[in-house]
DNA sequence: TTGTAAGCGTTATCAT
DNA sequence: ATGATAACGCTTACAA
């Protein structure tokens, strides 16, 4: 029973057309030209082009136990930070003969686990994951049982002992908070989506508290965990902060650009002015922040580079590097714009 | 010689462990439980879970000539419009047992062709492409020779007779231009990246001209083709427009959000005010436009829905629909914000 | 230089 | 109800 996919040319078809054996065609594909006569080689070359033959990756993969596939699981593909990392990973992926399967989990742990299973079925040779934090067992299993290298990107999972590429959140937060204090802000609030489970938020939160205590010697903790979806209480939380700090100079630090945008929308809606009523600074540096008011100051990450490095690390592991898992943390850069001016006394 | 990938469990391993034949395991996988005794079934089930077995998609694919893979080639993954379409496509993809391979071409035709080849090698069962316009031969070949359904998304290729899902650019442009004229703008300019080759830009440009002639009875054509990268001449082009229209009320329409951002940056840099010096309206509706000045008016596309529909169309074709290629054009919605106020006479 | 045959993991066919 | 076997497209010993 012929099950062959309609229209697909196989190595056997090429061999028949060229009047040689499929072994010879395979030799041609493997570029082992020294094992081929000039004539045969030409004939095969011509036939392959004419028939538009493309080697079947699945058959090759079956033979070698290799898929040439890398899995990349991201929490939110609509986030510019994510897409920049994808570009970095993809560029390197292709330069090394791999293809990238990008999977978007929408921050949903169940989706994440499902995707991991699918990727396992596709016999990916490596996995880069920006995890929700809800699939530790699955990740452990991929790494230890399947023996497939896993690189965490952006978000850490301390208990997992995996290569981790991301931002030096402590340095980043510390420099941001220190800067805000130096600019003269008396009350500084930190706004983030739910802090626990996601390491980036947690690290930024911890460093925020710590730095504030060290630099400002305050015991007030203006930390707000907000919900972006579905119903948001941001409005109330914002009011709470602004009322409690009435008369003081104040600034808001946001954990990422999604929160940043939300805060700006709310401030606008409630008629507060940036930076007169409240200064503003946020993690991530999407291009649009330059055109909001007199510009929003941000904490820029080398996003593309993070993607590249994650893939580099993965490739090293694929190529047999067995050294201890490492964490690479990139330094952030403060990009100062109009939203955090020096406070006039 | 064992070439088996280290650590990967096969159907044979499961069979041995469970003390049955691999046929039985295969029956279990195919959920043909009526051909299995209760006891055997339990035993297999238990073994599969214990060994963490995952069926090998490549082997399955080889057998069936199916990969369960869909290719999606996009021109710019950092564009929010693109990522929204990807989400739509991906959601539907997964609901139907397919996986999506997303490839980013950076608007580079060579990269696009390379990706198409790779996807062919992976024996994708369908292709969704937001094409640069530089791989018509390759696309023709995928469709006609490989007999793999191809759906164009966003950008059309008239000579190719393919299903095309996108925006009704004529309706969108017409309503935008008409609106601007009604608001009282005397000079309206259209800013776009190079117009030819990319159908969306071309259609918007054509409708821009046509509508302007019909509604404004003008023969002035303020059309500017700009380069975003590497060196940009936007500054000069902007000055040219603003000087030549000195004394008139004027507006700028941008072909997409990338151009929009560029224009805003330049206007800011040169000290022009929106909307006092020039009104502004752009295609696409990224979230940030709401917080720039008093908001930028935009032409919103149902991006997610476009992605979903593209995938729906592809699935229909995969399932054997042979009817004539169709073009589905979605209606745009004007989202009016502060950048296009009524001109006071 | 060229070809034959076995095997990769899976499913379908045909026995038993 | 269960198992042996062939086949999918490809590569590689091994043989000629």
Burial of B301 (0-12, 13-18, 19+ CB in 10 A): buried
DSSP B326-337: -EEEEPPEEE--
Cα dist from A60 to A29, A72, A291, whole Å: 11, 22, 51
Angle (CA) B72-A112-B102 rounded to 5° is 10
Residue written as token pair 């989506």: A193
What Å value separates CA A121 and C1' C13? 26
DSSP secondary structure code for residue A302 in this structure? -
pLDDT of residue A4: 41
Residues 9 through 68 of chain A touching chain B, CB cutoff 8 Å: 52, 54-59, 61-67
CB crowding B260-292: b at 16 or more within 10 Å, else e: bbbbbbbbbeeebebbeebbbbbbbbbebbbbb
Instruction: Cite the DSSP H helix spans in chain B.
Output: 11-18, 22-29, 38-51, 57-64, 80-95, 109-121, 136-144, 169-182, 199-216, 234-244, 257-269, 303-318
Backbone φ, ψ for residue B275 (5° rounding)? -100, 10
SS3 A22: helix
What string of pLDDT tens digits covers the 345 residues of chain A?
A: 333 455 589 999 999 999 999 999 999 999 999 999 999 999 999 999 999 999 999 999 999 888 999 999 999 999 999 999 999 999 999 999 999 999 999 999 999 999 999 999 999 999 999 999 899 999 999 999 889 999 999 999 989 999 999 999 999 999 999 999 999 999 999 999 999 989 999 999 999 999 999 998 877 889 999 988 766 789 999 999 999 999 999 999 999 999 999 999 999 999 999 999 999 999 999 999 999 999 999 999 999 999 999 999 999 999 999 999 999 999 999 999 999 999 986
Instruction: Test B87 with A77 for CB contact under 8 angstroms.
Output: yes
C-alpha to C-alpha distance for B327 and B169, rounded to whole angstroms: 12
> Which neighbouring-strand residues pair with A129?
A73, A152
pLDDT at B157 over 70: yes
Helix H or strand E segment including A312: helix A303-318
Please state the rounded mean pLDDT for residues B188-213: 95
What Å value separates CA B81 and C1' C10? 40
pLDDT at B47 over 50: yes
SS3 A275: coil
Smallest CA–C1' separation from B5: which nucleotide? Answer: C8
Nearest CB to B77 within list A61, A86, A94? A86
Please state the rounded mean pLDDT for residues B107-112: 95
Pairing outcome for strands A250-254 and A150-153: unpaired
Residue at the smallest CA–C1' distance to nucleotide C8: A63
The pLDDT-based confidence of B231 (bands split at 50, 70, 90) is low
pLDDT of residue B4: 40
pLDDT of residue B345: 66
pLDDT of residue B179: 98
Mean residue pLDDT of chain B comes to 93
C-alpha to C-alpha distance for B154 and B82, rounded to whole angstroms: 9
Summarised one tens digit per residue, pLDDT across range B260-310 is 999 999 999 999 999 999 999 999 999 999 999 999 999 999 999 999 999
Residue at the smallest CA–C1' distance to nucleotide C13: A1
A26 touches strand D (CB under 7 A): yes
pLDDT of residue B1: 30
Pairing outcome for strands A297-300 and A333-335: antiparallel
CB crowding B185-212: b at 16 or more within 10 Å, else e: bebbbbbbbebeebbbbbbbbebbeebb
Alpha-carbon Rg for chain B, nearest whole angstrom, is: 26
Q: Which residues are CB-neighbours of B304 under 8 A, at least 6 positions away?
A: B84, B85, B87, B88
DSSP B240-258: HHHHHTTTS-EEEEESSHH
The pLDDT-based confidence of B228 (bands split at 50, 70, 90) is confident
Residue written as token pair 């067995």: A322
B23 touches strand D (CB under 7 A): yes
Cβ contacts (< 8 Å) between B62 and chain A: which residues?
56, 58-59, 62
SS3 B225: strand
Contact B138, B153 (CB under 8 A): no
pLDDT of residue B11: 93
pLDDT of residue B172: 98
The pTM for the full model equals: 0.93
Instruction: Test B292 with A288 for CB contact under 8 angstroms.
Output: yes
Residue at the smallest CA–C1' distance to nucleotide D12: A23
C-alpha to C-alpha distance for A172 and A167, rounded to whole angstroms: 8
Question: From the candidates A5, A13, A289, which should be mutated to test the interface with B, based on the most B CB atoms within 10 A?
Answer: A5
- Which of B 44-63 have CB under 7 A of nucleic chain C? 55-56, 59-60, 62-63
Residue written as token pair 């060290």: A214
Helix H or strand E segment including A72: strand A69-74
Percent over 70 (pLDDT), chain B: 97
For residue A286, the chain B residue with the least C-alpha distance is B288
Residues B155, B159, B161, B163: what is their CA dihedral angle, to the nearest 10 degrees?
0
CB crowding B29-39: b at 16 or more within 10 Å, else e: eeeeeeebeee
């Amino acid at each position: 029973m012929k099950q062959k996919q309609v229209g697909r040319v196989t190595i056997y078809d090429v061999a028949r057309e060229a009047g040689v054996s499929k072994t010879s065609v395979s030799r041609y594909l493997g570029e082992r030209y020294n094992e081929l006569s000039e004539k045969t080689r030409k004939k095969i070359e011509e036939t392959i082009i004419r028939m538009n033959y493309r080697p079947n990756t699945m058959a090759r993969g079956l033979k070698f136990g290799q898929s040439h596939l890398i899995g990349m699981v991201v929490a939110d593909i609509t986030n510019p930070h994510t897409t920049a990392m994808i570009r970095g990973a993809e560029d390197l992926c292709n330069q090394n003969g791999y293809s990238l399967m990008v999977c978007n989990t929408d921050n949903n742990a169940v989706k994440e686990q499902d995707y991991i299973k699918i990727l396992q079925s596709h016999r990916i040779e490596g996995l880069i994951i920006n995890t929700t934090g809800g699939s530790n067992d699955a990740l452990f299993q991929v790494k230890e049982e399947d023996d497939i290298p896993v690189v965490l990107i952006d978000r850490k999972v301390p208990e997992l002992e995996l290569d981790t590429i991301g931002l030096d959140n402590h340095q980043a937060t510390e420099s941001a908070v220190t800067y805000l204090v130096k600019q003269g802000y008396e009350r500084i609030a930190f706004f983030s989506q739910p802090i626990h489970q996601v390491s980036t938020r947690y690290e930024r939160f911890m460093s925020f508290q710590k730095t504030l205590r060290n630099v400002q010697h305050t015991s007030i903790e203006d930390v707000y965990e907000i919900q972006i979806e579905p119903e948001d209480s941001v409005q109330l939380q914002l009011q709470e902060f602004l009322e409690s700090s009435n008369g003081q100079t104040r600034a808001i630090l946001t954990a990422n650009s999604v929160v940043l945008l939300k805060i700006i929308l709310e401030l606008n809606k409630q008629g507060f002015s940036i930076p007169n009523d409240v200064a503003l600074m946020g993690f991530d540096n999407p291009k649009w922040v330059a055109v909001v008011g007199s510009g929003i100051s941000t904490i820029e990450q080398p996003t593309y580079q993070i993607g590249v490095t994650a893939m580099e690390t993965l490739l090293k592991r694929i190529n047999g590097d067995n050294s201890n898992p490492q964490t690479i943390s990139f330094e952030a850069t403060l990009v100062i714009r109009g939203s955090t001016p020096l406070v006039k006394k």
